[in-house]
């Protein structure tokens, strides 16, 4: 039973640089997230799924496994194969959870805009955390140490 399970940290490369997920991860080119599953998207169905409107914006290092999917016509529709909750902490939430909360509270656009204005830091050191300031209800964005203030 355990022979086909994908376990541990795996790298996911963003295929669409300006997708919502990449922006939430601070415009990283890739993320390393933990997996614990044995499921994959059927390769024969990928083109049909994409024709229906879903976009596979993240793939594994081989480019054959679909890791992140988004629905562009929805305010916040992100699906992932990995488990962002495995590395999420109260003071350092997963970028995807932060995006969900921001979308639910009406702050997502400010978060996404802030991600493009921050100083670039090596993706090796920030690939698994959002490199962005906090967005408050009044729309002000405050720095997380990168010098961004509104």
Task: Give one DSSP letter per residue of 41-67, joined into a string.
Answer: --GGGHHHHHHTTEEEEEEETTS-SEE
pTM above 0.95, yes or no: no
Domains and CATH numbers, the chain: 6-118 (3.40.50.880)
Copy the structure tokens of residue 136. 């408050």
Residue 34, C-beta contacts closer than 8 angstroms, at least 6 positions apart: 8, 9, 10, 82, 83, 86, 87
* 22: exposed, middle or buried (Cβ count in 10 Å: 0-12, 13-18, 19+): buried
Q: What was the pLDDT predicted at 3?
A: 64
CA nearest to 64, candidates 17, 13, 30: 13
CA gap 1, 38 in Å, rounded: 10
Q: What was the pLDDT predicted at 32?
A: 94
Q: What was the pLDDT predicted at 116?
A: 66
All residue ranges of the chain with pLDDT < 50 are 119-132, 136-150
Q: What was the pLDDT predicted at 78?
A: 97
Q: What was the pLDDT predicted at 122?
A: 36
A 10 A CB-CB count for 53 gives: 12
């Amino acid at each position: 039973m355990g022979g086909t399970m994908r376990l541990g940290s795996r790298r996911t490369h963003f295929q669409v640089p300006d997708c919502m997920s990449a922006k939430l991860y601070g415009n990283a080119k890739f993320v390393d997230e933990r997996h614990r599953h044995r499921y994959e998207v059927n390769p024969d169905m990928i083109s049909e799924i994409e024709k229906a409107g879903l976009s596979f914006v993240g793939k594994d290092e081989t480019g054959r496994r679909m890791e992140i999917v988004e629905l562009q016509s929805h305010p916040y529709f992100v699906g992932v194969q990995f488990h962002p909750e495995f590395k999420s902490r109260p003071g350092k939430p997963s970028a995807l959870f932060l995006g969900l909360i921001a979308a639910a509270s009406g702050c997502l656009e400010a978060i996404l805009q802030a991600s493009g204005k921050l100083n670039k830091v090596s993706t090796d050191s920030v690939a698994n955390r959002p490199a962005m300031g906090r967005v408050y209800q009044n729309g002000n964005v405050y720095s997380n140490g990168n010098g961004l203030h509104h």
